[in-house]
Amino acid sequence: MALVAVAAVAAASSAAVGPAGGYVVRPGDTVDGLAARYGVSPAAIVAANHLGDANRIYAGDRLIIPSVAARGSSAGATQPPAGPPPPLAPVSPPPPGRPRFPAALLADPARLGLRPYFQHWAGVFGVPAGLVEAVAWMESGWRASVVSSTGAVGIGQIEPQTDAFICTQLLGFSAPVDPRLPDNNIRMSAAYLAWLLRQTRGDVANAIGAYYQGLTNLRGKGPLDSTRRYVAGVGAWWAQFRSG
């Protein structure tokens, strides 16, 4: 497993593992590094925390370290039963207005030139173009060359198994298409978001959360803290892109 980069910055603190195994992620932490430090496999940390994507742990997240949690429970530590996590904060369409593009996008004509693809495929699948744009900006910054350590590819960071599902089940193709091509990737991202919106009965926050965490995981486990930040981030970017 490759090192997992922490994707956010939090205020520096002397966070440590507590008696119940809770560890507050600090800038620079990785799943592999924590596994080595506490003598547990990276897969065990991923499973214990129901991580939808092991590439994304954020400074400020609280992770369960299984071996430490087990020592705490054997020493008689008890925890009150946890209730269901609260729902995701709603995400509403932004009011009409001029888009406020990120400086990095304005400085890159090639990436800015992808907007017609977003507009076209969003229209085909009946989803707001700005929502597709915002998800793609959170995922890759509209960079077709980005590949994650789990194999997620391109502008919408499409996982190989998701590529197969979208192409064969949603688009009716006989085989997956190349997600490295911007037109293909944006088409798949828009189709997938449209499907997630149908599955969540139009709940935009849950559709965005499912894009990040996985629909089954989101329904079964509830939203992760990182999912909440992801959804809020997409909503903020949508307010800037404004389209649709």
Among the listed residues 203, 150, 159, 219, the one whose alpha carbon sits nearest the alpha carbon of residue 185: 159
Query: From CA 187, how far away is CA 178, in angstroms rounded?
Result: 11
Contact status, residue 189 vs residue 159, Cβ threshold 8 Å: no
Helix (H) or strand (E) holding 24: strand 22-24
**CA distance readout (Å), 112 to 55, 148, 151, 158:** 26, 22, 25, 20
133 is catalytic: no
Helix (H) or strand (E) holding 181: none
**CA distance readout (Å), 229 to 58, 88, 216:** 9, 10, 19
Among the listed residues 219, 205, 165, 220, the one whose alpha carbon sits nearest the alpha carbon of residue 189: 165
What DSSP state is assigned to residue 90?
A: P
Place of tokens 């990120």: 102
Q: Which of 29, 61, 133, 139 is catalytic?
A: 139
Helix (H) or strand (E) holding 22: strand 22-24
Strand partners, 164: none
Identity of residue 18: G
Task: List active site positions.
Answer: 139
